[in-house]
Amino acid sequence: MRVWHLALLVVGVFAMAAVLAPVFQRAREADHGDPESVCARNLKQLALAMLMYAQDYDDRLPPAAVWMDSLEPYVKDLEPLLRCPRDTRPYSYAMNSGLSGARSTVIREANKVVMLFESDSGRRNASGLLTIADLADPRRHDGGLFFAFAGGRVRGFTADRFPALVRDSAKALGTLAPSARPRHDAAARRRDAARTPPPGDPHRDPWGAKPRRMRQGRIWRGWASGPEARKPA
């Protein structure tokens, strides 16, 4: 009988643990924030940091190749913001490479152009042209993902809305004025690659420009404002 009592006790303990585990999980999420809220908040802070960067660099968004590194001066603790709680890798987000170096203030439909999205590349400074294949799969949030737009807004979409989202973003991106478009020509790519910060120097501006607050005069080595504006050599 004692053996049976012990067996029943063990079974009861395991059954109780199975019942209470979801309760404790919900309590932990309530204490630290549920994954959906945390992920949306991460993207919101990253999007705002992108726009702050643009304010300092003549309205140019960061280069896609170093966009995470470029945000370090604008976020107090960047690393925790780069991972979704439902992702096991350290880097969960990617930049729309179609916005690399684009002028943020002249994007006509900023709330339609996706700037940051959830990706499963797991790489630092990940970027892509925002195709369905670039999006995180499996979908992390009840069949959906979160997206940050060029205007700073963050929204979640379910998988059935991804094709329309990608199409509308590409269409809105195609309406950029020539002065606002990213530079995709070969010479520009070579210049950008040459300006990529070397290891150990993540804060150097890849465009070769000084922040607006550090300038001396209107023309400097990089982007300049006004009629004297010129591209970096």
Taking only the tens place, the pLDDT of each residue in 211-227 is: 554 443 332 233 333 33
Do 35 and 45 form a contact (C-beta atoms < 8 A)?
Answer: no
The residues facing 60 across adjacent strands are 103
Cis before 138 (ω within 30): yes
Helix (H, G, I), strand (E, B) or coil at 94: strand
Give the CB-side neighbour count of residue 8, counting CA atoms within 13 A. 5
Percent of the chain topping pLDDT 90 = 49
Q: Which domain holds residue 139?
A: 35-182
Whether residue 209 lies inside any domain: the answer is: no
pLDDT tier for residue 159 given thresholds of 50, 70 and 90 = very high
Whether residue 221 lies inside any domain: the answer is: no
The mean predicted confidence, pLDDT, of the chain is 75
Whether residue 69 lies inside any domain: the answer is: yes
Q: How far apart are CA 173 and CA 179, in angstroms?
A: 13
Whether residue 10 lies inside any domain: the answer is: no
Whether residue 8 lies inside any domain: the answer is: no
Whether residue 164 lies inside any domain: the answer is: yes
pLDDT tier for residue 108 given thresholds of 50, 70 and 90 = confident
Q: How far apart are CA 72 and CA 92, in angstroms?
A: 17
In this predicted structure, what is the pLDDT of residue 138?
85
- The tally of domains found in the chain comes to 1
**Tokens linked to 186:** 């070969």
pLDDT tier for residue 202 given thresholds of 50, 70 and 90 = very low
In this predicted structure, what is the pLDDT of residue 229?
36
Whether residue 94 lies inside any domain: the answer is: yes
**Which is more confidently placed, 111 or 208?**
111
What is the CA 133 to chain-centroid distance, rounded? 17
pLDDT in tens, 22-74: 544 444 443 457 899 999 999 999 999 999 999 999 999 999 999 999 999 99
10-16 average pLDDT score: 53
Is the pLDDT assigned to residue 154 strictly greater than 70?
Answer: yes
Residue 207 corresponds to which amino acid? W
Whether residue 162 lies inside any domain: the answer is: yes
What's the start-to-end Cα distance of the chain, in Å? 89
187-205 average pLDDT score: 49
**Which is more confidently placed, 2 or 123?**
123
| Stretch among 10-19, 109-118, 154-163, 195-204 having the lowest mean pLDDT | 195-204
In this predicted structure, what is the pLDDT of residue 184?
46
| Stretch among 91-105, 134-148, 190-204 having the lowest mean pLDDT | 190-204
CB-count exposure of residue 201 (10 Å: 0-12, 13-18, 19+): exposed
In this predicted structure, what is the pLDDT of residue 105?
81
Is the pLDDT assigned to residue 14 strictly greater than 50?
Answer: yes
